[in-house]
Amino acid sequence: MKIGYSFWGFLGNGITDTPDGGRSHRRPFVDALLDRGHDIVFLQANRDRHEAGDDLGGAYTFDSGCPEIDVLFLEWRWAITGRNTTVCGIEGHTCDLHRQAQLLSRYTARRRTPTVIWDKDRTLCAESVWRRTAHTAVCEAALEPTPGAHRLLFPVADRLLAQANPLALAARPRDVVLGYVGNQYDRDESFDRFFAPAAARFEHLVAGKWTKTDRWPHVRFLGRIPFEAAAGIYGRSLATVLMLPERYATVGQMTQRVFEAVLAGCVPLAPADIRYVDRFVPNELIVRSGQDVVERLSHLRLIAGTQQHADLIAACVDRLNLFRLSKQVDTLETVLHGLVHPAAAEQGAV
């Protein structure tokens, strides 16, 4: 199929001053679709070239017009006051939302082009007309998606899972006990409860955009770091805490941070109030309080570099199979087939 793909972010490393977490999985996802014979044209601005000066080796096609496509695929964009809700051309304006509206109007509404919306940030309201449109499917990166939506998790490349060596990862020297990479958005409560108490006891680092930090004077905030530097933080950290906004935690939507950490040998501790938490981490890494985090970190320091440590990392790697890239591409192809060939899909379901 020829897929018109709309996303606002980067395929490469991009720039430092951006919250685009999709860089960890978007390009492998796209490349896997290309490998399966699909043709992809990107329909938003080429930020890799315009902002990062990266032409990606000329490997991808971008089109700001209205090319012929079989399917429209949207990484859902939402209104951000003062950014994409302003008038085109003024300082600070980004045109992602306007372009998305144009695409929906031209393709989904007028041409009735089969459309897949990947609501990665859970901002598409439950009453949206796009959830009730026959030729449109909604995907969510949650284990418990909204009724009627399909589960499409953030993918991790199969080859990275195959290459993971728990023994080597456990043996790696780590000078930081607790590391965190991510932005502040809607995480203050989890940070207060799980991270801040442990940060008072152990060497730690926090990388990302945290603008209101006065309540944690003892915490070492590095500010935003280049995308490619995240692996370095995890690579020197013994453990991290998987802190999720409530709208993610209640439906079991885990971010890409879990596989970024695990594949660097950084053990992820996960709050017990994350739905289906035992599918993301082993039971011994589930925490219910800041004291639990302190106790787990103390134990991890004692076993660091041992077979027990390697076994724990191996158990975390095993749980990453949930996010395996080939599985996510299978899921999307099934959704696409159901939209493009609905009669055949219904017959197959019978």
Answer yes or no: do 244 and 331 share one domain. Answer: no
Query: What distances in angstroms separate CA 61 from CA 4, 41, 49, 156, 274, one per listed residue?
Result: 10, 5, 12, 23, 39
Answer yes or no: do 305 and 331 share one domain. Answer: no
Query: What distances in angstroms separate CA 74 from CA 43, 98, 118, 206, one per listed residue?
Result: 9, 13, 6, 31
| Sign of the Cα pseudo-torsion (197, 198, 204, 205, in order) | negative
CATH number (domain holding residue 163) = 3.40.50.2000
CB 153 within 8 A of CB 141: yes
Answer yes or no: do 221 and 280 share one domain. Answer: yes
Reported as type and span, the H/E element at residue 159 is helix 158-163
Q: What is the pLDDT of residue 205?
A: 97
CATH number (domain holding residue 27) = 3.40.50
Answer yes or no: do 274 and 289 share one domain. Answer: yes
The domain in which residue 236 lies consists of 158-323
Spatial CA neighbour of 77 closest among 20, 25, 148: 20
Residue whose entry in the numeric block shows the structure tokens 């159901």? 338
Answer yes or no: do 209 and 307 share one domain. Answer: yes
If phi over 0 gives left and psi between -120 and 50 gives alpha, with beta otherwise, what is residue 72? beta
Q: How many domains does the chain have?
A: 2
Reported as type and span, the H/E element at residue 288 is none
Burial readout 279-304 (b: 16 or more C-beta within 10 A, e: otherwise) = ebbbeebbbeebebbbebbeebeeeb
Answer yes or no: do 82 and 121 share one domain. Answer: yes
Strands 221-223 and 204-207: parallel
Residue 81 token pair: 């006051």
Alpha-carbon span 269 to 280, nearest angstrom:
10
Q: What is the DSSP letter of 74?
A: E
CA 336 to chain centre: 21
Answer yes or no: do 279 and 177 share one domain. Answer: yes
Answer yes or no: do 177 and 318 share one domain. Answer: yes
Model pTM score: 0.94
CA terminus-to-terminus distance, the chain = 25
Q: What is the pLDDT of residue 347?
A: 54
Answer yes or no: do 310 and 248 share one domain. Answer: yes
Q: What is the pLDDT of residue 20?
A: 84
Answer yes or no: do 331 and 289 share one domain. Answer: no
Answer yes or no: do 75 and 103 share one domain. Answer: yes
Alpha-carbon span 199 to 196, nearest angstrom:
5
Q: What is the pLDDT of residue 350?
A: 40
Answer yes or no: do 164 and 313 share one domain. Answer: yes
Per-position pLDDT tens, the chain of length 350: 999 999 999 999 999 877 788 999 999 999 999 999 999 999 999 999 999 999 999 999 999 999 999 999 999 999 989 889 999 989 889 999 999 999 999 999 999 999 999 999 999 999 999 999 999 999 999 999 999 999 999 999 999 999 999 999 999 999 999 999 999 999 999 999 999 999 999 999 999 999 999 999 999 999 999 999 999 999 999 999 999 999 999 999 999 999 999 999 999 999 999 999 999 999 999 999 999 999 999 999 999 999 999 999 999 999 999 999 999 999 999 999 999 987 555 555 54
CB count within 10 Å of CB 246 equals 12
Q: What is the pLDDT of residue 344?
A: 58
CB count within 10 Å of CB 124 equals 21
CA 136 to chain centre: 22
| Edge-to-edge order in the sheet of strand 150-151 | 61-62, 39-42, 2-6, 71-75, 115-118, 136-140, 150-151
